[in-house]
Amino acid sequence: MAVDQLVFLAVSSFIVGFSGALVPGPVFVATVVESTKRGYVAGPLIVIGHALAEAVTIFAFYLGLSFLIGSIAAKVVIGVVGGSFLIWMSYNLINSVRKASLELSASGYSTTSTGHGSIVTGILTSVSNPYFFLWWATVGNDFTLRGIEIAGLLGVAIFALSHWMSDLSWYTLVSASIHKGRKLMSAKVYKGILAICGVFLLFLGLVFILEGLRSIA
């Protein structure tokens, strides 16, 4: 077991997860709405629901990928597809920096599970988003495979926990900010974070593709 590989897996999982959490989407809107009702606990509760949906997905990937761990074809396809999707994410993030903004107003939006609790809201806003399945079929698949290769189930657990920590830190900050009626962060700082994440995704995408192609040699 290579400790340096586990550290890189953890850091990469956190940053990639953080870059996804930063972009306003259904889970972000749900956090805004629920925070106006439940206060700062809404963010962590929604992340629990989001993590439950992802845990099922990760477990399914683990069961399937553990049988394909020795397949060169699987490593090449997953590496190239996952890397390409990361590069696409990088392009979108960097391209959106100039006009990026965070709107904390929830007017005109409603969660799909009103009255059913923040955890259920987190589950439903996750699985009802097509981007959720696209991300996990490509990037999530790749990270799961890498976790298995490095340390088996422990590697997968480190990937999952690091990924969830990025969600938890961001959405807790969102709900706490709304609860206290304060501005989340300046537009300049937000754009800077997006730009840094975009560059890192580009780097990581190229690494995934090169390592996938290297499996052929």
pTM greater than 0.85: no
126's tokens: 């996750």
Counting as low any pLDDT under 70, the low residues of the chain are: 1, 24, 65-71, 100-116, 130, 181-185, 217
Which residue, among 155, 123, 163, has the nearest Cα to 34 in the 3D structure?
A: 123
Look up tokens 């306003």; give the residue. 24
How buried is residue 73: exposed, middle or buried, by Cβ count under 10 Å (0-12/13-18/19+)?
Answer: exposed
pLDDT digits (tens, 9 = 90+) for 103-153: 554 444 444 444 458 899 899 888 877 678 878 888 888 899 889 889 989
pLDDT at 217: 65
Task: List Cβ<8 Å contacts ≥24 apart for 156-159.
Answer: 156/58, 156/62, 158/6, 158/9, 158/10, 158/13, 159/9, 159/10, 159/13, 159/58
Residue 122 in tokens: 């987190």
Q: Which domain holds residue 24?
A: 3-214
pLDDT at position 145: 87
Sign of CA dihedral 11, 138, 136, 167: positive
Alpha-carbon distance of 217 to 214, in angstroms, equals 5
What is the chain's length? 217
Q: Domain count of the chain?
A: 1
Side chain identity at residue 93, one-letter code: L
Query: Which tokens sit at 153?
Result: 């189930």
